[in-house]
Amino acid sequence: MKILVIEDEKKIASFVRKGLEAQGFVVETTSNGDDGFLLATTRPYEALVLDIMLPGKDGLSILRNLRERKISLPVILLTARSELNERLDGLNLGADDYLTKPFHIEELIARLHAVTRRATGTSQSILAVADLKMNLLTRKVTRGAQAIELTAREFSLLEHLMRSPGRVLTRVEICERVWDYNFDPGTNLVEVYVQRLRKKVDGDFPKKLIETIRGVGYCIKAGA
């Protein structure tokens, strides 16, 4: 998932970014409300982590303006523990959830999964293609009875393939979804990761699931 974090406290922003990236999220951060609002209205994200107290446009103003524009981007507010009124105002303006500082990164990750599942109208936590299964909550992947160990980036790549079985993801799409906007499309990193993933997922299995569409991109076979 691509997440936008608008937070002006450098330590918190760094803590959130590192924690999310370690779990395979693609994260973009900004410390200014005006810049954050521009990003939220011009770039695609799966969720927004939004501090209330910000230089420039404050968090509640950002939230209000997003909802006035009918932008349904899931929003998790970060609030001070004592500010009950701000939390209530945020929820009334259309925030999907909130966390009070300080918080554990595991809780933020769980809430991000929850709000994005609600936003897509699904409570699905298990992805399955043929005998390949992925648990989005426990982050366990199996093929048949065999457990598959993946790095955070490999997990994210496989997740995007499994969410659209049979659909070819172009190299650009993979770069944007699995890496960040500063990713250099001139490198062969996508090919390297697909090769690693293919070794782990297909390996010695007679049915190969990950397919290369020459000149286009990659897909995982539907109904394989």
Domain ranges of the chain: 2-119, 126-220
Fold of 126-220: Arc Repressor Mutant, subunit A (1.10.10)
For 85-143, strand residue ranges (E) read 97-101, 126-129, 132-135, 140-143
Are 101 and 81 a contacting pair, CB within 8 Å?
yes
Residue 121's φ and ψ, nearest 5 degrees, are 70, 25
* pLDDT, tens only, 33-90: 999 999 999 988 999 999 999 999 999 999 999 999 988 899 999 987 666 677 788 8
pLDDT of residue 136: 79
* pLDDT, tens only, 147-177: 999 998 899 889 888 887 888 888 877 877 7
Burial track 113-135 (b if 16+ CB lie within 10 A, e otherwise): bbbbeeeeeeeeeebebbebbbe
Say if residue 121's pLDDT is above 60: no
Query: Which CATH superfamily is 2-119 part of?
Result: Response regulator (3.40.50.2300)
